């Protein structure tokens, strides 16, 4: 897709756990399963490493969507990390929703190392959703917007 | 409308992805009207893939399919040839125009001998 | 501020065809902290690594960013290169611009822009990196093999031959697994038991191998080199030390109506039983659900007839706790349930059977003593139909999406053996594709067609209907002749898809080994590390990793053994230095981190701290870095923000977020 000046290019941060989802993203890559370039991945050891602070920071800095990917429940490399992540994110996302950041801008998805197709599909869906929601203006710190 | 568009239309109406077909022939194996058909259920998929909709529209098979959906039920790949046939039939019927059925007309058509599925399928196809 | 060198790899054309590497170099060289930026066709090559070495020395770099393939591929390579240049290996970060960029995007401008952003994030992170030092942990020189089939036996033998102690845990009363149920093996038609039993005997007799049959893994803790495993030895109700294996108890047992699992439920067995004649150990088990003594308290026939006095009704489950350095999973497979395939009438007719059931029927020790006969009326069949791909290659909603791999060959074997032994039986095989890659495999299949006259029909079967005359009406397609075939068959054999043994999910969870949507265990790398799990110290042997035939299983079992030996041969392992670290001044001693730690790595200590000149004793968290695996659960739980994860610190991740959202 050629770049178009007027087209809305969302900023999307994807946190992926090292053991499942990052490997799933690698598999999507080696299988050439494309998804929009708007998604940028940050590797974390486990989904439970993702501090709600990181997500708030992303929105503050102008992210339009944040997605957190981890191992399927029961498959966490550290046994229980994804359960903590699930609880934390449930709370955080409902608070963000209250603050005016629509539920569609945040998402938790379980992607295993074998699920390249799921990774790509998830990212395509998520970007589609963010594009339909448009630019995130609610939590952006105006001082960060030059 | 070109035939290429028709093949897109068939995919749209049926909601079926014919590329998933692996040519196992289970649809034809399971079809009760197989011997009546000139284009067999498994061939239907390749006709749609090749965009040869004219042949399908003129085939006997279109009207020999009972819509029993055994092929839909048993297709191992969710290609569901029965849905393709149904969609092709719907396109032909729509082209002809006029033949509509409203819910009010159904009680008159009721017949003890008639399989109920036929009415359901007719209503789905001919409703306005 | 660090002095950072950025190295952008072309990866031949893998990256350079989609990402303008020159432009990436140009843009990132203006980033804060970057003192050096260059591109090279293959950074992972020796010459590419030399570029890093030279630049580190010449420009006195303190951090390195390599924009290349996934860190899962070459992070270790580049860390070693940095180490050779005198840098701390943990001062290297990788920007994944291949798997996460060039391979999935087509537009060059877009991909280049993304590559720059990914590089910026890595640069921002390196700016905050600190040198880390890996610790050491010890290796217990003992391996555990879960599963006593051919895969487990072979792995255990190979590890034991290298001089290490091995324990096999097998949940059924005997080792042998699926292979012991097979009659003949393709493509040589060897008798399965004849080639398996010597291996079983060898394993049982090996001084380094210890076999726990009728046992299951209950609990696994620890990590690579130092696992602690609880093995539940289920109560056999027979004292193995006293039993002589004479078999009188089984003969005299009055309860003989339990389905014989070994014969796939096609006949019955006594309540006290050994699964098959060559069972190892040759010590029976009392099935307590079927035993009259256990159900009513009255019977005790086996106890009376046992000359050795081996029967022990009071035996209890026993938990054995053992330490292991390596664990090999060899849990194998089962055939799928056919509930979704009503059209084949499997549940309606006794004469519709699975291939594994046919294997038992053909076997001399099977329910029909090896005579091919219909299970409904005992008559010899004249017309047999084989149906391929039953449940394999289906949509996920119906069956299994994968090819079970072994069915084409065993069906050719069955067809050939039947035509050989009973030349008057007509055999028809309905197939979608015949897949016979493998040494002497296609020749084998062609022999079935050309020499034995097996009738192969390209097309699936839509319906099998039992007829009033006792036969089965098979309605199938012949796609090549464009015909619908109606055939009256005496027996129908279904090449039923295989799936991982159901217990594997529980085991994988205990081992924290990842598993795919079909319950196959995932490899550390699908091509380059096919016998290792991503969880260090866990290895994969046999069908638990994916469908395999016997030669492949044996080969992989050997490979898994070599990987386990490679681990056991080490005295010490270097540990991951990315562990949690508390800031003692911020810690308020609340214990929340200790509660979430899955490894019990956090303890509390009363320690004297100096808080801005005030000296006082406080209760503060301490992390045992040998136990900490670096998940980071504690860092997020800590209410005062005292806990941080080295290598993935709050500041580092926030710097990455900032770089991406800039």
Domains along the sequence of chain A with CATH = 12-140 (3.40.50)
Residue bearing the bigger pLDDT, C135 or C42 = C42
Q: Which of C600, C587, C360, C382 is nearest to C471 (CA)?
A: C382
Cβ A45 vs Cβ C598: under 8 Å: no
Sign of the Cα pseudo-torsion (C116, C117, C120, C121, in order): negative
Cβ of B23 under 8 Å from any chain C Cβ? yes
Give the nearest partner residue to C522 out of A1, A53, A112, using CB atoms: A112
B3: exposed, middle or buried (Cβ count in 10 Å: 0-12, 13-18, 19+): middle
Residues of chain B contacting residue C486, judged by C-beta atoms under 8 Å apart: none
Report how far residue B48's alpha carbon sits from residue B21's, in angstroms, rounded to the nearest whole number.
11
Domains in chain C with CATH codes = 4-126 (3.40.50), 142-234+317-332+501-568 (3.50.50.60), 248-305 (no CATH), 337-499 (3.50.50.60), 580-646 (3.30.70.3270)
pLDDT digits (tens, 9 = 90+) for C215-267: 999 999 888 999 999 999 999 999 999 999 999 999 999 999 999 999 999 99
Hunting for tokens 């270790």 — which residue is that? C76
Q: DSSP state, C99?
A: I
Give the pair of three-digit tokens for residue C445.
């299949």
pLDDT of residue B97: 65
Report how far residue A39's alpha carbon sits from residue C443's, in angstroms, rounded to the nearest whole number.
50
Q: Which of C147, C148, C1 is nearest to C61 (CA)?
A: C1
CB contacts < 8 Å between B and C, how many?
Answer: 68
Report the DSSP beta bridge partners of residue C605. Answer: C620
Give the pair of three-digit tokens for residue B5.
């568009």
pLDDT of residue C485: 94
Q: Which of C404, C408, C410 is nearest to C392 (CA)?
A: C404
Distances (CA, A) of C394 to A133, C399, C657: 37, 5, 42
Phi, psi values for residue C643, rounded to 5°: -90, 135
Residues of chain B contacting residue C398, judged by C-beta atoms under 8 Å apart: 76, 78
Hunting for tokens 């659960």 — which residue is that? C633
Q: Other C-beta atoms within 10 Å of B38: how many?
A: 12
Phi, psi values for residue A24, rounded to 5°: -65, -40
Contact (CB<8Å) C398/B70: no
**Nearest chain C residue to B27, by CA:** C462
Give the pair of three-digit tokens for residue C433.
């594709």
pLDDT of residue C516: 86
| Mean pLDDT, rounded, of chain B | 83
Helix axes C192-205, C150-161, angle to 10 degrees: 40
Span B31-40, mean pLDDT?
Answer: 93
Instruction: Name C54's Cβ contacts closer than 8 Å, sequence gap at least 6.
Output: none
pTM, full prediction = 0.84
Distances (CA, A) of C132 to C91, C135, C560: 8, 10, 32
pLDDT digits (tens, 9 = 90+) for C342-384: 999 999 999 999 999 999 999 999 999 999 999 999 999 999 9
**Nearest chain C residue to B36, by CA:** C484
Contact (CB<8Å) C633/A80: yes
pLDDT of residue A146: 47
Report how far residue C427's alpha carbon sits from residue C452's, in angstroms, rounded to the nearest whole number.
10
pLDDT of residue A99: 87
Q: Is the pLDDT of residue C183 over 60?
A: yes
Hunting for tokens 């490894």 — which residue is that? C599
Helix axes C71-84, C46-59, angle to 10 degrees: 50
Phi, psi values for residue A81, rounded to 5°: -55, -45
Span B4-16, mean pLDDT?
Answer: 81
**Nearest chain B residue to C395, by CA:** B77
pLDDT digits (tens, 9 = 90+) for C48-69: 999 999 999 999 999 999 999 9
Give the pair of three-digit tokens for residue C98.
């291949």
Instruction: Name A70's Cβ contacts closer than 8 Å, sequence gap at least 6.
Output: A16, A17, A20, A21, A46, A47, A48, A76, A81, A82, A85, A108, A110, A111
Report how far residue C302's alpha carbon sits from residue C341's, in angstroms, rounded to the nearest whole number.
42
Which is it for strands C63-68 and C4-9: parallel, antiparallel or unpaired?
Answer: parallel
Mean pLDDT per 10-residue segment, chain A (146 residues): 70 95 94 95 96 94 94 86 94 91 94 92 96 81 54
How far is C-alpha C59 from the geometric centre of its chain's CA atoms?
Answer: 47
Q: Which of C556, C538, C558, C534 is nearest to C546 (CA)?
A: C556
- In 3-state terms, what secondary structure has residue A132? helix
pLDDT digits (tens, 9 = 90+) for C450-463: 999 999 999 999 99
Cβ C238 vs Cβ C311: under 8 Å: yes
Contact (CB<8Å) C460/B24: yes
pLDDT of residue C600: 85
Contact (CB<8Å) C484/B28: yes
On the CB side of C16, CA atoms within 13 Å amount to 13
State which fold the B3-97 domain adopts: Fumarate Reductase Iron-sulfur Protein; Chain B, domain 2 (1.10.1060)
- In 3-state terms, what secondary structure has residue C450? helix
Give the nearest partner residue to C99 out of A29, A40, A84, using CB atoms: A29
pLDDT digits (tens, 9 = 90+) for C515-557: 888 999 988 888 888 999 988 899 999 999 999 999 999 999 9
Query: What's the gap in Å between the CA of C575 and the closest CA on chain A?
Result: 15
pLDDT of residue A1: 46
Q: Is the pLDDT of residue C131 over 80?
A: yes
Instruction: Give per-residue burial for C128-143: e unless 16+ CB within 10 Å, then b.
Output: bbeebeebebebbbbb
Span C318-335, mean pLDDT?
Answer: 97
Report how far residue C73's alpha carbon sits from residue C88's, in angstroms, rounded to the nearest whole number.
20
Span C613-628, mean pLDDT?
Answer: 90
Cβ C492 vs Cβ C385: under 8 Å: yes
End-to-end CA distance of chain C: 20
Sign of the Cα pseudo-torsion (A50, A55, A61, A63, in order): positive
Question: Chain A window 20-39: which residues touch C at a Cβ cutoff of 8 Å?
Answer: 20, 22-23, 25-30, 32-35, 37
Hunting for tokens 């290659």 — which residue is that? C393
Phi, psi values for residue C606, rounded to 5°: -85, 120
Span C303-309, mean pLDDT?
Answer: 94
Report how far residue A101's alpha carbon sits from residue C587's, in angstroms, rounded to the nearest whole number.
32
DSSP for C341-402 reads: -GGGTTTT-TTEEEHHHHHHHHSTTSTTTT----TTT-PPPSEEEEEEEESSS--TTTS-SS
DSSP for C21-42 reads: HHHHHHHHTTSTTEEEEEEES-
pLDDT of residue A86: 95
Q: Where are chain B's structural domains? A: 3-97, 100-128
Residue bearing the bigger pLDDT, B99 or C74 = C74
Cβ of C309 under 8 Å from any chain B Cβ? no
Q: Could you tell me the pLDDT band of residue C90, with boundaries at 50, 70 and 90?
A: very high
pLDDT of residue B111: 77
Query: What's the gap in Å between the CA of C137 and the closest CA on chain A?
Result: 18
Residues of chain C contacting residue B42, judged by C-beta atoms under 8 Å apart: 477, 479
Q: Do chains B and A touch (3 or more CB pairs under 8 A)?
A: no
Cβ of B94 under 8 Å from any chain C Cβ? no
pLDDT digits (tens, 9 = 90+) for A61-90: 989 999 999 999 888 888 889 999 999 999
Q: Could you tell me the pLDDT band of residue B98, with boundaries at 50, 70 and 90?
A: low
Instruction: Name C45's Cβ contacts closer than 8 Å, sequence gap at least 6.
Output: none
Question: Chain C window 420-439: which residues touch B at a Cβ cutoff of 8 Å?
Answer: 432
Hunting for tokens 């549940």 — which residue is that? C347
Span C429-444, mean pLDDT?
Answer: 95
C163: exposed, middle or buried (Cβ count in 10 Å: 0-12, 13-18, 19+): exposed
**Least confident segment among B46-50, C372-376, C504-508:** B46-50
Span C333-346, mean pLDDT?
Answer: 94
Question: Could you write out the three-class secondary structure of chain B?
Answer: CCHHHHHHHHHHHHCCCHHHCCCCCHHHHHCCCHHHCCCCHHHHHHHHHHCCHHHHHHCCHHHHCCCCCHHHHHCCCCCCHHHHHHHHHHHHHHHHCCCCECHHHHHHHCCCCCCHHHHHHHHHHHEC
Q: Other C-beta atoms within 10 Å of A100: how many?
A: 10
Q: Which of C639, C630, C636, C625 is nearest to C586 (CA)?
A: C639
Give the pair of three-digit tokens for residue C655.
């710097």
Residues of chain C contacting residue B27, judged by C-beta atoms under 8 Å apart: 462
Distances (CA, A) of C651 to C50, C521, C612, C646, C648: 31, 35, 23, 10, 8
What ipTM was estimated for this complex? 0.94
Report how far residue A86's alpha carbon sits from residue C442's, in angstroms, rounded to the nearest whole number.
51
């Amino acid at each position: 897709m050629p770049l178009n000046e007027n087209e809305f290019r969302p900023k999307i941060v994807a946190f992926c756990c090292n053991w499942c989802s990052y490997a799933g993203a690698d598999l999507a890559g080696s299988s050439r399963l494309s998804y929009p370039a708007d998604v940028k991945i940050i590797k974390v050891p486990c989904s439970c490493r993702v501090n709600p602070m990181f997500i708030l920071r992303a929105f503050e800095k102008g992210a339009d969507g944040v997605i957190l990917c981890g191992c399927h429940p029961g498959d966490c490399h550290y046994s229980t990390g994804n359960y903590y992540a699930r609880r934390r994110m449930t709370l955080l996302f409902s608070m963000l929703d209250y603050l005016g950041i629509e539920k569609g801008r945040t998402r938790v998805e379980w992607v295993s190392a074998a699920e390249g197709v799921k990774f790509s599909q998830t990212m395509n869906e998520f970007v589609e959703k963010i594009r339909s929601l448009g630019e995130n203006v609610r939590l952006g710190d105006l001082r960060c917007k030059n | 409308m070109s035939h290429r568009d028709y093949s897109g239309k068939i995919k749209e109406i049926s909601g079926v992805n014919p590329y998933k077909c692996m040519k196992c022939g289970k649809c034809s194996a399971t079809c009760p009207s197989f011997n009546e058909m000139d284009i067999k259920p498994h061939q239907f998929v390749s006709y749609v893939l090749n965009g040869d909709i004219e042949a399908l529209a003129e085939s006997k098979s279109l009207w020999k399919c009972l819509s029993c959906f055994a092929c839909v039920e048993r297709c191992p790949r969710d290609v569901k040839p029965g849905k393709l046939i149904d969609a092709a039939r719907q396109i032909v019927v729509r082209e002809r125009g006029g033949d509509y059925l409203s819910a009010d007309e159904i009680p008159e058509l009721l017949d003890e001998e008639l399989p109920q599925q036929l009415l359901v399928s007719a209503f789905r196809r001919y409703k306005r | 501020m660090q002095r950072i060198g950025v190295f952008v790899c072309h990866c031949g054309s893998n990256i350079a065809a989609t990402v303008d590497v020159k432009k990436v170099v140009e843009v990132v060289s203006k980033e804060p902290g970057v003192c050096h930026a260059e591109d090279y066709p293959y950074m992972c090559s020796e010459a590419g690594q030399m570029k890093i070495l030279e630049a580190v020395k010449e420009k006195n770099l303190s951090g390195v960013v390599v924009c290349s393939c996934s860190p899962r591929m070459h992070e270790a390579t580049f860390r070693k290169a940095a180490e050779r240049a005198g840098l701390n290996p943990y001062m290297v970060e990788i920007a994944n611009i291949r798997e996460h960029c060039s391979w999935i995007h087509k537009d060059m401008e877009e991909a280049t822009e993304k590559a720059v952003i990914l590089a910026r994030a890595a640069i921002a992170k390196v700016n905050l990196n600190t040198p880390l030092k890996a610790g050491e942990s010890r290796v217990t020189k003992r391996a555990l093999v879960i599963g006593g089939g051919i895969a487990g036996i072979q792995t255990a033998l190979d590890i034991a031959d290298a001089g290490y102690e091995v324990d096999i845990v097998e949940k059924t009363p005997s080792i042998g697994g699926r292979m012991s149920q097979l009659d003949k093996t393709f493509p040589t038609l060897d008798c399965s038991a004849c080639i398996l039993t010597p291996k079983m005997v060898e394993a049982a007799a090996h001084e380094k191998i210890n076999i726990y049959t009728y046992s299951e893994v209950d609990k696994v803790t620890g990590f690579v080199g130092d696992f602690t495993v609880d093995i539940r030895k289920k109560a056999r109700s027979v004292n193995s030390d006293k039993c002589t294996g004479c078999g009188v108890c089984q003969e005299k047992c009055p309860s003989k109506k339990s389905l014989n699992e070994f014969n796939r439920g096609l006949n019955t067995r006594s309540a006290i039983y050994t699964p098959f004649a060559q069972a190892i150990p040759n010590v029976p088990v009392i099935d307590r659900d079927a035993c009259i003594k256990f159900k009513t308290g009255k019977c005790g026939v086996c106890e009376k007839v046992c000359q050795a006095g081996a029967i022990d009704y009071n035996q209890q489950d026993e938990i054995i706790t053992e330490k292991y350095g390596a664990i090999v999973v060899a849990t194998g497979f089962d055939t799928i349930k056919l509930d979704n395939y009503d059209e084949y009438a499997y549940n309606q007719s006794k004469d519709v059977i699975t291939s594994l059931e046919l294997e038992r029927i053909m076997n001399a020790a099977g329910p029909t003593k090896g005579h091919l006969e219909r299970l409904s009326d005992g008559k010899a069949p004249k017309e047999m139909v084989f149906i391929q791909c039953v449940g394999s290659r289906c949509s996920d909603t119906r069956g299994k999406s994968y090819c079970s791999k072994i069915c084409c060959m065993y069906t050719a074997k069955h067809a050939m053996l039947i035509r050989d032994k009973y030349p008057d039986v007509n055999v028809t095989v309905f197939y979608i594709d015949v897949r016979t890659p493998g040494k002497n495999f296609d020749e084998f299949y062609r022999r079935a067609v050309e020499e034995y006259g097996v009738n192969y029909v390209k097309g699936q079967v839509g319906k099998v209907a039992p007829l009033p005359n006792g036969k089965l009406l098979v309605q199938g397609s012949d796609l090549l002749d464009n015909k619908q075939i109606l055939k009256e068959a005496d027996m129908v054999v279904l090449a039923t898809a295989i799936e991982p043994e159901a217990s594997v999910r529980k085991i994988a969870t205990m081992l924290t080994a990842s598993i795919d949507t079909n319950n196959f265990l995932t490899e550390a790398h699908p091509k380059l590390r096919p016998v290792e799990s991503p969880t260090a110290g866990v290895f994969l042997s046999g069908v638990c990793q994916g469908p395999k035939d016997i030669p492949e299983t044996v080969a992989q079992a050997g490979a898994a053994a070599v990987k386990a030996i490679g681990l056991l041969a080490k005295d010490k392992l270097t540990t991951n230095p990315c562990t949690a670290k508390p800031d003692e001044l911020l810690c308020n001693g609340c214990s929340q981190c200790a509660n979430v730690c899955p490894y019990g790595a956090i303890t509390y200590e009363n320690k004297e701290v100096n808080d801005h000149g005030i000296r006082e004793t406080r209760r503060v968290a301490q992390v045992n870095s040998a136990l900490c695996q670096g998940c980071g659960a504690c860092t997020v739980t800590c209410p005062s923000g005292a806990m941080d994860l080295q290598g993935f610190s709050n500041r580092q991740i926030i710097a990455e977020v900032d770089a991406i959202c800039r």
